Amino acid sequence: MSQKVSLNHPFVSLDHVKLNFGNHQVLKDINLEVYPGEFIGLIGPNGAGKSTLLKLILGLIRPQSGKIKIADAKNTKNLIGYVPQRLNLDPQTPLRGRDLVALGLDGNRWGFSLHPQKRKQKVNEMLEAVEAVSFADSPIGRLSGGEQQRLLIAQSLISSPKLLLLDEPLSNLDIKSSYEIVRLVAKLGKEQGISVIFVTHDMNPLLEVMDRVLYLADGNSVIGTVNEIFQSRVLSQLYGYKVEVLKVNGRLIVIGNESSNVEVFSNPNPYENKG
């Protein structure tokens, strides 16, 4: 499906979004605009509502109030790719890597109607893009976490989405794989003009690729550039414990130390939510 997406207009916008689960107010007033090709890191403590925010954008749950707008598209089904946390698979699962990627075609209107040769070609192109050709014919249950993540990313991108939502894709990955996955997503996002919202607890691999950072806590959000948010003072204030941001060889590194005492500053939100 070809959709007209303007670079000057947000692809996704959330306007005063509020979400409760029963009496539990998870998101109080979220405002956000995500532009085409923009890479946003979504961070915040456990239970802050990061996955819930992704589900709202996916349309899986509806807000109590506020508006969520996805470009001008009427049919958003194929416009959003979603990568869940790693799969928990039985090692005996008969599905091969390339079958998992092909499943991404079946969720859209032309998946089954695609000529088998064209279908195979599309799957091969995606496997090459995520550098997964060498293990594409292995049963997915026997692949490593990093290999499975590459396949899930290929699956989510095969229907040419305009927005990619990734929910903690780095959990269970080693440092090298984490950096590789982040670089891969950032590269494909920029090449194809895909907006990315990337949920993570490990911020370090994202520091060089994020355009902006969205921090969720206590139902509210703070958004800013990496330089605005990644300061020891700001992160310590947001998390409520000592977080140090160091510059080593020109690169930022975030170190969290929950046991340290820290002065929690009186103003809980150092930045206005700029959307």
* Residue 48 engages ligand ATP in binding (rule: CB under 6 A): yes
Q: Which stretch binds ligand ATP (CB under 6 A): 40-48, 67-75, 207-215, 253-261?
A: 40-48
Tokens at 172, concatenated:
């269970």
User: Among residues 5, 12, 17, 26, which is the contact residue for ligand ATP, using CB under 6 A?
Assistant: 26
Cα separation of 98 and 111, whole Å? 15
Tokens at 244, concatenated:
């140090």
List phi, psi (to 5°) of 169.
Answer: -70, -10
3-state secondary structure of 105: helix
Closest alpha carbon to 18 in 47, 61, 60, 58: 61
Nearer to ligand ATP, 52 or 108 (CB): 52
From the CB of 91, what's the least distance to ligand ATP, in Å?
26
Nearer to ligand ATP, 21 or 110 (CB): 21
* Residue 63 engages ligand ATP in binding (rule: CB under 6 A): no
* Residue 44 engages ligand ATP in binding (rule: CB under 6 A): yes
User: Among residues 46, 88, 117, 266, which is the contact residue for ligand ATP, using CB under 6 A?
Assistant: 46
- CB-side neighbour CA atoms (13 Å) of 62: 2
Cα separations in angstroms, 59 against 67, 187, 219: 11, 27, 19
* Residue 21 engages ligand ATP in binding (rule: CB under 6 A): yes
* Residue 23 engages ligand ATP in binding (rule: CB under 6 A): no
Interface positions with ligand ATP (CB under 6 A): 21, 26, 44, 46-52
